[in-house]
Amino acid sequence: PIGIIWAGLQVADLDTQVVFYQEVIGLRLIRKNESWAVFDAGGGAIFELSAGGERSSLPKTSRQQSLVAGFRVENLSEEVRLLREKGVSFLSEIESYKSSRWVKFADPEGNILELKEVS
C-alpha cells in the first residue's frame, strides 16, 4: 500500500451526521443518498458515512468502534479553537510525538476521531 484512499464509518442518523461532518468539521459533501454520504477528505481520500451504525451517548469503546479516522490539518491549535466554538468537546489535550501533534474528539454519535498536524 502507498496510502489510505478511503475510510468509512457506520452511523445511526445519517442526516444528522452529514450536517456535523459538513458544517462542523468542514468536509465537502460529494454525494449523498438515503443509505450513504461521501465526502472529500483531502489529498484524494474519501470519507464515507453509511447507515446502519449505533449511537452512543458516551465516546465509543474500542469494542464498539475498532477503527479511528484521523483528519490532517494545517494548524491544529486553530482547528481546535474553531471546533470548540462550534460546541465540539475534546477527549484529550493536544498530544505530540516527534513531528506530529494530535487531539481526539467524538462526533454526535460517540465515534472517536482525531485531528492531526504533521510538520
pLDDT for 21-52, tens place per residue?
A: 999 999 999 999 999 999 999 999 999 999 99
Assigned C-alpha cell, 105: 474528539
User: What total of structural domains would you count in the chain?
Assistant: 1
Q: Where are the extended beta strands (E) located within the chain? A: 6-11, 28-32, 36-40, 46-51, 69-72, 95-97, 100-106, 112-118
| Domain-located, residue 1 | no
- Pull the grid cell for residue 17: 451526521
Q: What is the pLDDT of residue 77?
A: 98
Q: Domain of 73: which CATH number? A: 3.10.180.10
- Measuring CA to CA, which residue among 103, 73, 87 is closest to residue 20? 87
Question: Given 3-state DSSP classes, what are the helix, strand and coil percentages for the chain, each rounded to the nearest 5?
Answer: 20, 35, 45
Q: Do the bridges between strand 46-51 and strand 6-11 make them parallel or antiparallel, or are there none, so unpaired?
A: parallel
Please check whether residue 82 lies inside any domain of the structure.
yes
Residues of the chain scoring pLDDT < 50:
none
Residue 63 lies in a domain: yes
